[in-house]
Each structure stands twice: as structure tokens, then as C-alpha cells.
Amino acid sequence: MAEDMNSSLESATLGGGCFWCIEAIFAQQMGVKSVVSGYAGGHDSNPDYKDVCSGTTGHAEVIQVTFDPKVISFDALLDLFWRAHDPTTLNRQGNDVGTQYRSAIYYHNEDQKASALMSIEKAQKFFDEEIVTELAPLDKFFPAEGYHQDFYTNNPEQGYCSFVIRPKLAKLGLKP
């Protein structure tokens, strides 16, 4: 029976700056079963945090969200995605600068691509600057090292968590 439930789950892979931040946001959503921080969109076949931060692998810090589309739709995830970061700044979110912090949607199928294109058009009405979010098929997702997983939950008093993630959660009306 559990197998039947899991077969109806879908995945979304999104980049919106530091993966610690967006992981904390998406993990609180009803219908989200898991959020894994990782890397996507690059050319290195075995990226690690140090190499991704160097900017040489081409990878972005992303999250892979496993969700139940009967509870939360891909479109609803994208609506949150647009509110959770600034998709108009190229390779930057706040003080985090570099290609690894780019805004990105890595779609898993043609339906997600079509939804993402419509979502970009809809979201653009809420931004003065042009949305620069990368839209590309997901080639491969690489889970980040274990210490990056559930970072905010495991390190709520860490500086970045206190001064960047907690205020962002509060701004979105989520539990800090």
C-alpha cells in the first residue's frame, strides 16, 4: 500500500540562492514529503561544496522537493519560489554572490516546463526588473553533503540562520 502512495509523488528541483534558506522554506509546506539540498545544472560529474563554491563546476545550489500533487501543486510550489527569493538578480541573492546562487528551475518533464514558462510570465508582473531565472531540463541532481541537509533545523542559532533564514521565514509567514 505504501508503494502506491509513493508512486503518486512528484519531484521539483529549484535554485533560489543558498540551499539552506530555500530548504527551510519548502520543508514547512503541507504536501511536501522531503526536501534535499544539492547541486544541479553543472558539468562536473562529482561536485562537492568546495568545488561548487569555487564557481568552476557550473552547478547551482538547489533543493529537490518531493511532494504530493494532490496536496500541493507544482504551480503552488512555483508561487512560493517567486516569493522566497529575488529572481531578478543574476547569480546573486543578497550577500551570496556567484553562479552557484543563481535562480533556476530544473524541470523534470514537459508539463513542468510548460507550467514554469506560464509561471515566469505570471510572476514577471510582480517585479520591476526582468526575471533572469534559468529554466532548463534536469540533467542530474547531486545531493549535497550530509551536514547541509536540514541545516536550519539542525543549526537554528548559527549566524546565517539567525540573520538571513529566520527573517525570511517570518516575512513569508512561516514558523521561524
Q: Is 150 exposed, middle or buried (0-12, 13-18, 19+ CB in 10 A)?
A: middle
Buried (b) or exposed (e) across 99-114, using 16+ Cβ within 10 A?
bbbbbbbbbbeeebee
Quote the distance between the C-alpha of residue 91 and its chain's center: 14
Distance CA 52, CA 41 (A): 11
Tell me which of 18, 21, 53, 161 is the catalytic residue. 18
The answer to whether residue 18 is catalytic is yes
Tell me the three cell numbers of residue 131.
526575471
- Confirm if 127 and 15 have CB atoms less than 8 A apart: no
Catalytic positions, please? 18
